[in-house]
Amino acid sequence: MNTKKWKSIGTVLGETNISEFYFSLKNYKAKKGDIITTESKVPSSEGKIEEVTVWGKISSIESTNVFFPTEAAQELTNENINIRDTILPTTRDELICKVIILGFTLKNNLKLMPLNYPVRPAAPVSYPSSEDVEALLISDLNSEHPLFIGSLLARDAVKIKIDADNLVSRHVSIFGMSGSGKTVMVRRIMDELLKKKYPMLVLDIHGDYLGFIQKQKKLYPKNEVKLFYPNLSVSSDDKEIIYTLIDKLGNSLTDPQKDFLSSLLEKVKYEGGSLLKYIELLVRKAREYASDSSKSFKNIRPASMYVVVRSLGQVAKKLKNMEQTNFRHRQKMSKLKFEELPDAATEPEKIINKGQLSILYLKGYENLPASAIVSILLENLFKHRQEVEEEIPPFLTIIEEAHNFIPSRSEDKDNLPSVDTIRKVITEGRKFGTGIMIISQRPSRLDETIASQCNSQIVFRMVNQKDQRATTRDSETLSVDDSKQLPNLANGQGIISGQVVNFSLPVQIKFDAELINDDIGNENFISAVENWDDKESVKQRKKFAKDFSNITSIDRRRAN
Amino acid sequence: MSNETDIKNKIKSNSSLFTNFVKNAVSASPKVQNNFLDVSAQVALTIQKILEDADLITNLEYKGKDFWSENKCKTSCFVDGGVDKTSIISSAPLSIRTGSYIVKPDAADKNREFFEESMVFLGDLYDPKNELYDFAEDDFDEDQMLNKKKDGARIIFEAVTIVKHILLNRKFDYCFLHGPIEATVMPFTVMGFPTFTKFAVENMLPFYNKNKLNAEARHFINVYLEALNSIKKSKFPIYGIVETSNSAPYIKNLLFNYKSKGTISEKDFKSTLATIKNYKITDSHLLEIILQSGQAIKPLEVKKQIKGFSVTSGSAWEEKMDSFPSVHIGYIKINDHSAPIRIESLNPSKNLIKDYEYILATARLLPNYGFPVGLNVVDKFAKIPNWMSKASRKYYATHLLKQAIRSKDQNTISLAVKILSKKVRSWRNRPLGGLAR
Ligand SMILES: Nc1ncnc2c1ncn2[C@@H]1O[C@H](COP(=O)(O)OP(=O)(O)OP(=O)(O)O)[C@@H](O)[C@H]1O
Ligand SMILES: [Mg+2]
């Protein structure tokens, strides 16, 4: 580190302390988010005085022209005078930067230590070289497995890496409004983890991750990428989930009807398999009980039983519909190979395996069934990690549109089975290597306990104040100054904080264009319309439409 | 042309003359109180008549937009000095700063404006025999002397700053000083006023070395006179601009000229001067009533240092007073609601109207305050706490301690330490500026 080569960019001002200071900046020499340094002295533990380099991050910049009298603006406006023609000062904008102190380093050692003595007022402030900033960040991260994710927002040349170990063992939340760059960021992380053969499971609602399948041969020849469609397969253990599903998806039931439903679930044993089959079985059995009422259920009238039968029929119909929708979406992507999701209870290794990325394509499923699917899947996988035999390696679960799976209690959503499961996995996950990454546009709508368990955060552009508040509430490391920056971030610019880095950093995430799903791509409705060609049926309809409309109009005329 | 009732209304409605009179009315005799309106109106009418007779009133033109687009190529320099605010505690060493704001509006950003500062400490400036640390027996005397030293230092320093610009052959179209171009030197003629150090004089006026800088040569009067004589030789026009005038040099000289010509009798002259004194009538007061916004009165040549006046009488410096250059003073009324500003120069103006219109335009940029904005800018600059610039802060600190330690006086040392450890004014408390946000 050659501090002599660093450019001087300003002077420390007035009162300083050990956590922050202000400095006056020379025009255009640094930006918000930049990492800067100042030389200082601290007393060492041996009572010596040591020369140190103090590192800080510019958290805000204010500009004032102290010499410009307010009155003058009045005359300029009234007389329509160009300020540049007058003797008024225009170039003496004074830039005052607020700096959050990151720590200090000693000569020839890049270990960042907490500052315990204030920086010197009037000391010069320098702009360290990109190599030195990068070296500091790397040394400070002290990571065995760094993941490259992008560059420091204010400085392209400074590459930013985050710590993989903390990423997969703790939990990460990724927030930001729609289109702000969350998914691009997740794909970046997945790319890095794939290279490390770390197993991952992605819950993909929109098909944002299908690019991994398309590019697997080219980009990840040593990895396996599997694409699953959900199969609501249940076992007798999942009675509670089944009850909830039927209760919530079907018609609303009275108390006696509910009693009948739970007794029915008790009575009709099931070895496991498709939920739809089980429901069909339940329908048959319920009909039987209804027709010979006296025997099994004394207190329940057959009429009530038929209500339950009809409700079960409803549930079956809805589930079939969702399966159908999902199927149709899959068909559109005929080039991709979809497999039915294996039973996580009995064959977890088909889902979680070294070097494998598993994508669960959930498009078409309503919240509740999707939640049930996820809940059963994660419960089973987690169980396998808990067991002594450890049938599957540690893995990372990536939950897109997390508000669908872990809504806040205040959202007043139905009691989704996935909430409890994910809460359990996230609180105990550290022990068992089941890290979770939650992604959402609406942090304010997420379950508070789960969100606060995420000890690393990546936040993208966010305008909604409620969401901003929720974000800072859940974070220990995101500062108020950081959160003020959120509305001004551009696509792909995020602030990373928490255990994957050591201090919050504004980052420009690297965009992997290759990982975009070619089949769905980005919404580009204009070109979709440009290339639009009517379907055969539509063409036929259009062919006759004119004739029919003629008939109608003639008909009307006569009526008048 | 205003008639008497107009004038009276003007006096009553918006003149500082009236305000001033009301303030002082308590101490004035009943007769003076009663006659105030009539008398002052009559004086105003008479002066107005003389001004018109002498064709001294002139109308200036101001067209904001056009003016500035025509004059954006001009380079102007604004100079002001100030006593360093951070060091005003008791009689601790004081530093004097002079700032220059140099601006050429149509230049590229890099060369458009320059803020230059020079700074000096009183302890460095005056002869160590009169070290400021020597506390006088009498606090009042001590304060008096300290104030004189401060004033003297500021006046010299401002003048020297202009001299430096001239010596460096700076290409200015205009140079303006915040304050009189030639100060009244009378206060510095008192017995015991310290001389400047050799070092200080050599630095201030490098070319000035007659008599090998003996004590007399290093006295304020001689150094200042030397500086004024160099200023007088400047190729570009230099004006001192004074906000409000609390004396009546213009009126008195005007009357004196008319008396000399024989237009006014000795008796009338004397009694009018007495009236002016009685009613505390000043140039500003009277011209505020007489002039319309955008009008000026052409300069008169005036002697600033009047021999035989007050303390100077009998002083060793009395004879020197005649050597000081005379000053040309005129007034411009910038807007309706403020008193006219005084314009002083050592030489007669070559382009009087053009110069005055330039001053008017710079003052119109402060539409309420009605004072050249460049001087307002440099005033703020000279007042900025100097720890903003590291070098001067460091210099100040070491200097202060050295001085204190040299004095071997425990009180002084502890005072110095106190000043150094005193929390400097937070940068947030700077004088207000910038666009209202
Ligand atoms: N780091 C980046 N660099 C360049 N462009 C980016 C970056 N991140 C995002 N973008 C652009 O923004 C688009 C949307 O990004 P992305 O799909 O990641 O948004 P999102 O936050 O996941 O939104 P949603 O909540 O709607 O899913 C991308 O397709 C890309 O065009
Ligand atoms: Mg997305």
Instruction: Express each pLDDT in B206-228 by its tens digit.
Output: 888 766 777 788 888 989 999 99
If asked whether residues A365 and A511 sit together in one domain, one would say yes
If asked whether residues B119 and B91 sit together in one domain, one would say yes
A207 CB near ligand 1 (under 6 Å)? no
| pLDDT at site B30 | 67
The answer as to whether B334 is a domain residue is yes
Give the CA-trace dihedral at B275, B279, B284, B286, to 10 degrees. -60
Q: Which of A515, A530, A545 is the last residue of a domain?
A: A515
pLDDT: which is higher, B93 or B406: B406
Q: What is d(CA B114, CA B168) in angstroms, rounded to the nearest whole number?
A: 15
What residues of chain B lie within 8 A of the CB of A62, using their CB? none
Nearest-neighbour CA in chain A from B31: distance (Å) = 43
Q: What is d(CA B104, CA B113) in angstroms, rounded to the nearest whole number?
A: 6
If asked whether residues A165 and A58 sit together in one domain, one would say no
| pLDDT at site B138 | 47
If asked whether residues A172 and A134 sit together in one domain, one would say no
What residues of chain B lie within 8 A of the CB of A74, using their CB? 367-368
Q: What is d(CA B371, CA B361) in angstroms, rounded to the nearest whole number?
A: 10
| pLDDT at site B342 | 95
If asked whether residues A417 and A475 sit together in one domain, one would say yes
Q: Tell me the pLDDT band of A472, cut-offs 50, 70 and 90.
A: confident
Q: Tell me the pLDDT band of B305, cut-offs 50, 70 and 90.
A: confident
Which of A6-15, A217-226, A484-493, B104-113 shows the lowest per-residue confidence on average (mean pLDDT)?
Answer: A6-15
Q: What is d(CA A52, CA A64) in angstroms, rounded to the nearest whole number?
A: 31
pLDDT: which is higher, A297 or B348: B348
Q: Tell me the pLDDT band of A203, cut-offs 50, 70 and 90.
A: very high
| pLDDT at site A332 | 82
If asked whether residues B45 and B78 sit together in one domain, one would say yes
Does A180 score more than 90 pLDDT? yes
Q: ipTM of the assembly?
A: 0.78
| pLDDT at site B426 | 31
- Per-residue pLDDT of B86-95, as tens digits, reads 443 334 446 6
If asked whether residues A253 and A197 sit together in one domain, one would say no
Q: Please provide the DSSP assignment of B274-306 as one string.
A: HHHHHTT--HHHHHHHHPPTTEEEEEEEE-SS-
B366 touches chain A (CB under 8 A): yes
The CATH number that applies at residue A407 is 3.40.50.300
Which of A24-28, A30-34, A308-312, B301-305 shows the lowest per-residue confidence on average (mean pLDDT)?
Answer: A24-28
Percent residues over pLDDT 90 in chain B: 32
Residue A186 alpha carbon to ligand 2 centre in Å: 9
Does A521 score more than 70 pLDDT? no
Q: Please provide the DSSP assignment of B211-262 as one string.
A: GGG-TTTTSHHHHHHHHHHHHHT-SS-EEEEES--SS-HHHHHHHHHHHHHT
Hey, of A67, A74, A81, which one would you mutate to test binding to chain B, going by the most B CBs within 10 A of its CB? A67
The answer as to whether A227 is a domain residue is no
A201 CB near ligand 1 (under 6 Å)? no
If asked whether residues A135 and A182 sit together in one domain, one would say no
Which of A134-138, A163-167, A196-200, B244-248 shows the lowest per-residue confidence on average (mean pLDDT)?
Answer: B244-248
* Test site for ligand 1: of A148, A183, A206, most ligand atoms within 8 A of the Cβ: A183
Domain count, chain B: 2
Neighbours of B247 (CB within 10 A): 12
Q: Tell me the pLDDT band of B375, cut-offs 50, 70 and 90.
A: very high
Nearest-neighbour CA in chain B from A456: distance (Å) = 36
Token representation of residue A3: 């501090």
* CA-wise closest residue to A434 among A422, A443, A451: A422
CB pairs under 8 A between A and B: 118
Q: Tell me the pLDDT band of B25, cut-offs 50, 70 and 90.
A: low
Give the CA-trace dihedral at B412, B417, B419, B420, to 10 degrees. 140
A182 CB near ligand 1 (under 6 Å)? yes
Q: Tell me the pLDDT band of B274, cut-offs 50, 70 and 90.
A: confident
Q: What is d(CA B288, CA B252) in angstroms, rounded to the nearest whole number?
A: 16
Q: What is d(CA B50, CA B269) in angstroms, rounded to the nearest whole number?
A: 13
Q: Tell me the pLDDT band of B135, cut-offs 50, 70 and 90.
A: very low
Task: Give phi and psi for A361, each to the nearest 5.
Answer: -90, 110
Q: Work out the average pLDDT over A334-342.
A: 88
**Tokens 């006023």 sit on residue:** B193
If asked whether residues B315 and B415 sit together in one domain, one would say no
The answer as to whether B59 is a domain residue is yes
Residues A37 and A3: beta-carbon distance below 8 Å: yes
Structural domain for A136, as ranges: 3-142
Domain count, chain A: 3
Q: What is d(CA B166, CA B184) in angstroms, rounded to the nearest whole number?
A: 23
If asked whether residues B310 and B413 sit together in one domain, one would say no
The answer as to whether B371 is a domain residue is yes
The answer as to whether A59 is a domain residue is yes
Does the beta-carbon distance from B434 to A72 stay under 8 Å? no
Q: Is the dihedral of CA B87, B92, B95, B96 positive or negative?
A: positive
Token representation of residue B129: 């025999």
SS3 content of chain B, % helix, strand, coil (to 5): 50, 15, 35
Highest mean pLDDT among A326-335, A339-348, A398-407, B29-38: A398-407
| Shortest-distance Cα residue to atom 13 of ligand 1 | A179
* CA-wise closest residue to B125 among B149, B146, B142, B144: B149
Does A510 score more than 50 pLDDT? yes
If asked whether residues B226 and B96 sit together in one domain, one would say yes
- Per-residue pLDDT of A346-405, as tens digits, reads 889 999 999 999 999 999 898 888 998 999 899 999 999 988 777 899 999 999 999 999
If asked whether residues B342 and B415 sit together in one domain, one would say no
pLDDT, averaged across chain B: 78
A151 CB near ligand 1 (under 6 Å)? no
Structural domain for B275, as ranges: 38-384
Please identify every residue whose CB atom is under 5 Å from ligand 2, which is an ion.
A 183
Across the interface, which of A11, A65, A71 has its CB nearest the CB of B390?
A11
What residues of chain B lie within 8 A of the CB of A84, using their CB? 72, 105-106
| pLDDT at site B239 | 97
What residues of chain B lie within 8 A of the CB of A14, using their CB? 387, 424, 426-427
Residues A492 and A205: beta-carbon distance below 8 Å: no
Nearest-neighbour CA in chain A from B259: distance (Å) = 43
The answer as to whether B13 is a domain residue is no
Across the interface, which of B112, B362, B369 has its CB nearest the CB of A71?
B369
Q: Tell me the pLDDT band of A182, cut-offs 50, 70 and 90.
A: very high
pLDDT: which is higher, B88 or A532: A532
If asked whether residues A168 and A110 sit together in one domain, one would say no
Q: Tell me the pLDDT band of B21, cut-offs 50, 70 and 90.
A: low
Neighbours of A379 (CB within 10 A): 20
If asked whether residues B396 and B351 sit together in one domain, one would say no
| Shortest-distance Cα residue to atom 17 of ligand 1 | A183
pLDDT: which is higher, A169 or B192: A169
If asked whether residues B312 and B334 sit together in one domain, one would say yes
Residue A196 alpha carbon to ligand 2 centre in Å: 24
The answer as to whether B23 is a domain residue is no
If asked whether residues B113 and B170 sit together in one domain, one would say yes
- Per-residue pLDDT of A311-323, as tens digits, reads 999 889 988 999 8
The answer as to whether A446 is a domain residue is yes
| pLDDT at site B435 | 31
| pLDDT at site A390 | 77
Highest mean pLDDT among A165-174, A176-185, B276-285: A176-185
**Tokens 């200082």 sit on residue:** A40
Across the interface, which of B390, B433, B436 has its CB nearest the CB of A122?
B390
B363 touches chain A (CB under 8 A): no
pLDDT: which is higher, A274 or A385: A385
**Tokens 């959160």 sit on residue:** A483
Q: What is d(CA B329, CA B345) in angstroms, rounded to the nearest whole number?
A: 7
If asked whether residues B403 and B271 sit together in one domain, one would say no
| pLDDT at site A141 | 84
Q: How far from B414 is each of A179, A451, B404, B417, CA to CA, in Å?
A: 64, 57, 8, 5
Does the beta-carbon distance from B109 to A22 stay under 8 Å? no
Residues B193 and B148: beta-carbon distance below 8 Å: yes
Token representation of residue A312: 């079960």
If asked whether residues A388 and A422 sit together in one domain, one would say yes
The answer as to whether B12 is a domain residue is no
- Burial class of residue B258 in the structure, from the number of CB atoms within 10 Å of its CB (0-12 exposed, 13-18 middle, 19+ buried): middle
Q: Tell me the pLDDT band of A410, cut-offs 50, 70 and 90.
A: confident
| pLDDT at site B408 | 61
Q: What is d(CA A242, CA A372) in angstroms, rounded to the nearest whole number?
A: 8
The answer as to whether A335 is a domain residue is no
Highest mean pLDDT among B33-42, B94-103, B404-413: B94-103
Does B392 score more than 50 pLDDT? no
Which of A285-299, B59-73, B104-118 shows the lowest per-residue confidence on average (mean pLDDT)?
Answer: A285-299
Percent residues over pLDDT 70 in chain A: 95
Task: Give phi and psi for B390, each to the nearest 5.
Answer: -60, -45
Q: Tell me the pLDDT band of B198, cut-offs 50, 70 and 90.
A: confident
- Per-residue pLDDT of B340-349, as tens digits, reads 999 999 999 9
Q: Work out the average pLDDT over A290-315.
A: 81
Task: Give phi and psi for B122, each to the nearest 5.
Answer: -55, -40
If asked whether residues B285 and B418 sit together in one domain, one would say no
| pLDDT at site B319 | 77
A523 CB near ligand 1 (under 6 Å)? no
Q: Work out the average pLDDT over A476-487.
A: 83
Q: What is d(CA B215, CA A369) in angstroms, rounded to the nearest whole number?
A: 102
The answer as to whether A109 is a domain residue is yes
The answer as to whether A147 is a domain residue is no
If asked whether residues A119 and A75 sit together in one domain, one would say yes
Report helix, strand or coil for A506: strand
What residues of chain A lie within 8 A of the CB of B176, using their CB? none
If asked whether residues A83 and A124 sit together in one domain, one would say yes
What residues of chain B lie within 8 A of the CB of A77, using their CB? none
Q: With b meaning 16 or more CB within 10 Å and e meaning fewer, what string describes A406-438?
A: bbbeeeebeebbbbebbeebbeebeebbbbbbb
If asked whether residues A319 and A464 sit together in one domain, one would say no
| pLDDT at site B122 | 63
pLDDT: which is higher, B385 or B13: B13
* CA-wise closest residue to A161 among A194, A184, A188: A188
| pLDDT at site B86 | 46
The answer as to whether A108 is a domain residue is yes
If asked whether residues A197 and A292 sit together in one domain, one would say no
pLDDT: which is higher, B209 or B80: B80
| pLDDT at site B288 | 87
If asked whether residues B379 and B398 sit together in one domain, one would say no
- Per-residue pLDDT of B114-123, as tens digits, reads 988 776 666 6
